[in-house]
């Protein structure tokens, strides 16, 4: 559950934040400063390096001037915002008879010792009513606050880059944070144009934790040679509706960063199976295959290279008129297929199971039986699964048949479920565990994931569109087929599915 010291704060600590000191004039600090001055706050900007402050002020000025040129701000609004941006000579500058900041937001290097030392120094020169917030993305807020004489004044305030555009902020109370501090930070965020979600002080907080579901499953599929990164990215975009596939996203953020977050979250949750990272990352990081910033990751970004927009594999020479037998829901969706015959292809819609299992259980012809993901029936891309027994001619003909209505077709190797099913199941299972642990409220989980990760919908609401009972069946089938504990359904999911409740249903209240 989200921690709270329960202590009552003085009345002065319940007033809205108006004067904010931002310490750290790098990318995040200048973004926070821009966000705050546009919202009407007075901002003191400070950094250990004085030149960085002047560079940051110039940057904010240029961004606001650009906004005025594009008609997004009036001249008066720009002038008013810039008048509220003040450069300080030192992060530890005392008020010296002037107005003290109501809040200090730290955005310095991601190092616990550096952050703790900064706040202990600020505690000596600023009044007790000044609240502290750390913009850490991975460090324990409680451990940073434990160095203070008054740890109740500090909370986490995790912004996302670029701050003015990413409309989400995680408010993270430490174990000793006073309620008033959390409430005032939430009010600051909400009244300044962003959405605040309250998150427990746990490894990865909310967004970085929730994001592990997709990338760890993508790596698991790569480990098993189910498909190449480009094919898995196409499935993620065209079947699941994600803006970016997991591998192109890791190339954008940097595999070194992603690998560190995966390891931190997995270790922090005591090697939980659902968060298990891949053995593939260490060598790729050591080789410098970090993505765009090093010129090569899962894709190449050198001169003349096209990054993720690699040519799609083509299967030529198939017979689009070949008879196909389709079972289940897919039969109605694929209305263009012909009546079955003794030589028909057999398309099996799998749900958490494999084509090999369907062949064995149903006595189907292995050489001309292929898997078809039901999730792709209404999508612009169809996904076919092939086994070691599938004839090449059957693959070519199946691709030709499914492409007759203009759909793209991706061929993958047989696996339990399908790549799309496994990625969806993993991100839903991780999200339900976040809810189950009380790390964040169900609605906040969905809001944070859509705003912070750009998913088309939150994982809990997404699962509800599929159906809680159907999601439970998917995870149980994946667990049974693979034996991998990463697919064991959470009690949160199982309980709501059995009760016929949406996965967004919060925990039952208990008497005090």
Residues 163 and 23 in one domain: yes
213 has pLDDT over 80: yes
- My answer on whether 27 and 100 are in the same domain is yes
Per-residue buried b or exposed e for 158-168, using 16+ beta carbons within 10 Å of the residue's own CB: bbbeebbebeb
Active site residue 418: no
> Residues 431, 445: contact at Cβ < 8 Å?
yes
* Structural domain for 427, as ranges: 215-313+419-503
Distance between CA atoms of residues 246 and 251, nearest Å: 9
Q: Which pLDDT band holds residue 367 (cuts at 50, 70, 90)?
A: very high
| Average pLDDT over every residue of 468-485 | 97
344 and 468: one domain? no
Q: How far is CA 204 from the centre of its chain?
A: 10
Among 160, 178, 201, the domain-final residue is 201
Nearest CA to 425 among 386, 476, 389? 476
Mean pLDDT computed over 278-298: 96
**pLDDT tens digits for range 141-198:** 999 999 999 999 999 999 999 999 999 999 999 999 999 999 999 999 999 999 999 9
Classify residue 229: in a domain, yes or no. yes
Task: State residue 336's pLDDT score.
Answer: 46
Helix (H, G, I), strand (E, B) or coil at 486: helix
| Token pair belonging to 287 | 């080789």
Which residues touch 34 (CB under 8 Å, ≥6 apart)? 60, 63, 64, 163, 164
Q: Check if the beta carbon of residue 87 is closer than 8 Å to that of residue 53.
A: yes
Q: Does the annotation mark 62 as catalytic?
A: no
Q: In this predicted model, what pLDDT tens digit does every residue of 91-150 receive, in sequence order?
A: 999 987 678 999 999 999 999 999 999 999 999 999 999 999 999 998 999 999 999 999
| Residue among 44, 106, 170, 481 flagged as catalytic | 170
Residues 342 and 244 in one domain: no
Query: Do 328 and 477 have their domain in common?
Result: no
Query: Are residues 172 and 238 both part of a single domain?
Result: no
Residue 17 within a domain: yes
Q: Catalytic: which of 208, 231, 278, 354?
A: 208
The arithmetic mean of pLDDT across residues 279-294, rounded, is: 96
SS3 263: helix
What kind and span of H or E run contains 346?
strand 345-349
Q: 33 is written with which tokens?
A: 């400063």
Type and span of the H or E element at 303: none
Q: Is 378 exposed, middle or buried (0-12, 13-18, 19+ CB in 10 A)?
A: exposed
Q: What is the tally of structural domains in the chain? A: 3
DSSP annotation of 480 reads: H
Sign of the CA dihedral running 493, 229, 416, 395: positive
Residues 193 and 306 in one domain: no
Identify whether residues 60 and 182 lie together within a single domain: yes
- Per-residue pLDDT, 504: 96
- Which residue, of 176, 201, 226, is where some domain finishes? 201
Of the residues 394, 414, 434, which one is the last residue of a structural domain? 414
Mean pLDDT on 343-371: 94
- Is pLDDT larger for residue 250 or for residue 307? 250
CATH assignment at residue 306 = 1.10.1040.50
Percent of all residues in the chain with a pLDDT value above 70, rounded to a whole number? 94
Catalytic residue of the set 44, 106, 123, 137: 137
Same-domain pairing of 25 and 165: yes
Residue 3, in any domain of the structure: no
Q: Is residue 28 part of a domain?
A: yes
Catalytic residue among 41, 158, 209, 479: 158
290 part of the active site: no
Does residue 510 sit within a domain? no
The tens digit of pLDDT for each residue in 423-450 reads 999 999 999 999 999 999 999 999 999 9
Which residues, 6 or more positions from 159, have their beta carbon under 8 angstroms from its beta carbon?
28, 31, 32, 35, 107, 135, 166, 169
- In a shared domain, residues 40 and 98: yes
In this prediction the pTM is 0.92
Give the mean model confidence (pLDDT) for residues 369-374. Answer: 95
Residue 1 lies in a domain: no
In a domain, 318, yes or no: no
Question: Same domain, yes or no, for 159 and 96?
Answer: yes
Residue 208 bears catalytic tag = yes
Distance of CA 219 to the CA centre of its chain: 15
Does 42 share its domain with 136?
yes
């Amino acid at each position: 559950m989200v921690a709270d010291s329960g202590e009552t704060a003085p009345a002065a600590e319940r007033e809205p934040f108006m004067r904010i000191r931002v310490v750290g004039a790098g990318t995040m600090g200048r973004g926070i400063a821009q966000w705050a001055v546009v919202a009407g706050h007075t901002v003191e900007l400070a950094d250990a390096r004085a030149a960085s402050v002047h560079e940051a002020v110039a940057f904010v000025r240029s961004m606001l001037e650009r906004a005025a040129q594009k008609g997004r701000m009036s001249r008066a609004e720009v002038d008013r915002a810039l008048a509220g941006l003040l450069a300080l000579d030192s992060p530890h500058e005392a008020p010296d008879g002037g107005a003290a900041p109501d809040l200090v937001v730290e955005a310095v290097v991601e190092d616990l010792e550096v952050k703790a030392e900064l706040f202990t120094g600020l505690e000596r020169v600023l009044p007790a009513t000044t609240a502290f917030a750390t913009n850490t993305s991975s460090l324990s807020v409680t451990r940073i606050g434990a160095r203070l004489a008054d740890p109740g004044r500090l909370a986490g305030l995790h912004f996302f880059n670029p701050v003015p555009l990413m409309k989400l902020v995680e408010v993270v109370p430490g174990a000793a944070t006073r309620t008033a501090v959390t409430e005032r930070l939430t009010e600051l965020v909400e009244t300044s144009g962003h959405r605040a979600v309250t998150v427990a002080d746990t490894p990865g907080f909310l967004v970085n934790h929730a994001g592990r579901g997709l990338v760890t499953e993508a790596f698991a599929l790569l480990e098993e040679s189910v498909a190449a990164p480009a094919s898995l990215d196409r499935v993620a975009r065209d079947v699941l509706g994600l803006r970016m596939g997991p591998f192109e996203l890791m190339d954008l953020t940097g595999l070194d960063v992603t690998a560190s977050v995966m390891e931190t979250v997995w270790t922090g949750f005591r090697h939980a199976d659902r968060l298990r990272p891949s053995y593939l990352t260490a060598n790729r990081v050591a080789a410098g295959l970090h993505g765009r910033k090093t010129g090569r990751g899962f894709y190449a970004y050198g001169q003349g290279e096209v990054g993720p927009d690699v040519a799609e594999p083509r299967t030529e020479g198939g017979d689009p008129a070949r008879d196909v037998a389709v079972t289940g829901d897919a039969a109605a969706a694929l209305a263009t297929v012909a009546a079955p015959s003794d030589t028909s292809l057999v398309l099996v819609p799998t749900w958490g199971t494999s084509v090999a299992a369907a062949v064995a259980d149903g006595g189907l012809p292995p050489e001309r039986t292929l898997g078809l993901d039901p999730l792709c029936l209404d999508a612009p891309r169809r996904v076919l699964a092939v086994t070691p027994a599938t004839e090449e001619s059957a693959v070519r003909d199946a691709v030709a048949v499914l492409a007759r209505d203009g759909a793209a077709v991706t061929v993958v190797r047989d696996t339990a479920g399908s790549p799309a099913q496994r990625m969806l199941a993993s991100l839903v299972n991780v999200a339900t565990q976040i809810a189950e642990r009380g790390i964040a409220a169900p609605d906040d989980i969905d809001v944070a994931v859509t705003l912070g990760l750009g998913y088309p919908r939150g994982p809990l609401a997404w699962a509800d569109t599929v159906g809680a009972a159907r999601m439970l069946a998917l995870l149980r089938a994946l667990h049974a087929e693979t034996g991998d504990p990463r697919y064991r359904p959470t009690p949160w999911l199982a309980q709501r599915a059995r009760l016929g409740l949406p996965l967004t249903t919060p925990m039952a209240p208990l008497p005090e």
